[in-house]
Amino acid sequence: MKITGLKERLGFMTALACLVLLIAGTVYYVFDFKMPGPFVPHLTPDAQAPPLAEASPDSYMDNVSLLARVIMGEAGDEPYNGKVAVGAVMLNRMQSSAFPHTLSGVIFQPNAFESVDNGFIWFRPPSSEAIQAAIAALSGWDPTYGALYFWNPAKPVNPWIWSRQILTQIGQHVFAL
């Protein structure tokens, strides 16, 4: 008797749970069907970093904010000179015949930068140090003296990259020509 009661209660609970799931699923399906659809990056405003627009009302600052985002995505946990170095690599690529000749071309080249390919640059707002690094790189500071590639030797990379002439190592990154 006791056992049957427990079984019955179990069965009832299962049916109830299914019903709840069913209702929840239907509500989700009907009202929110589009939500998990195409991935749209949302720009997250950064509370700490001073707004760039305020510091400089001109449109020539687009480069700073774009470069700062990629620096944050690629070298967010690197020391300051490592951040400047990553920014300098992007700018050096513009001067190289083997790469696109615009900053946006370099940054958005498919398979060029992991944080651009996986969209992380749109989720991690640049710190003020990343912005400062972008400014330094755009003003001509280059701790690598002309590097075109950088990678983290601790992570798996295309073996081809090791054929490049290594110039220096800053933090976790190796920089090469």
Partner 1 sequence: MRTSRSSAAIVALAILWGVTALWGIGQVRAKRQTDVLLQNKYSRAFYDTLQRTKNVEALLSKGLVSGSPDQMDAIFSDLWYNANSAQENLNQLPVSHDVVAKTSKFLSQVGDYSYSLSKQNKTRNLSDKDWQTMQQLYRTSASLNQEMSAVERAAATGSFHWTEIQGGLAKKLPQGSAGSVDNSFRQLETRLQELPVLVYDGPFSDHIDKIEPQGLTGGLVSLDQAKQIARSFADLGGAAVQQTVVSGEVRGKIPSYSLALRTGNGPQDAITINVSKQGGHVVLLLNPRPVAAAKLTDDQARTQALSFLNSRGLTGFMPSYTLRQQNVLTISFVSTQDAVAVYPDQVKLQVALDNGQVLGYEALGYLTSHHRRALPSPKITAAQAKAKLSPRIQVLSERLAVIPTTSKGESLAYEFKTKLADETFLVYINAQSGEEEHILKLLNLPNGTLTL
Instruction: Name the residues that contact partner 1, by CB under 8 A.
Output: 8, 11-12, 14-15, 18-19, 21-22, 25-26, 28-29, 33, 36-38, 50, 55-58, 60, 64, 79-81, 84, 95, 97-101, 105, 109-112, 114, 117-118, 128-129, 131-132, 135-136, 139-146, 155-161, 165-170, 177
| Closest CB to partner 1 among residues 45, 110 | 110
Mode of pairing for the β-strands spanning 149-151 and 173-176: antiparallel
| Closest CB to partner 1 among residues 44, 118 | 118
Task: Give buried/exposed letters for 21-56 (b at 16+ CB in 10 A, else e).
Answer: eeeeeeeeeeeeeeeeeeeeeeeeebeebeebeeee
| Closest CB to partner 1 among residues 27, 44 | 27
| Closest CB to partner 1 among residues 45, 156 | 156
Q: Nearest distance from residue 81's CB to partner 1, in Å?
A: 4
Q: Nearest distance from residue 41's CB to partner 1, in Å?
A: 14
Q: Nearest distance from residue 97's CB to partner 1, in Å?
A: 4
| Closest CB to partner 1 among residues 14, 44 | 14
Q: CA 170, 123, 111, 150: dihedral to nearest 10 degrees?
A: 0
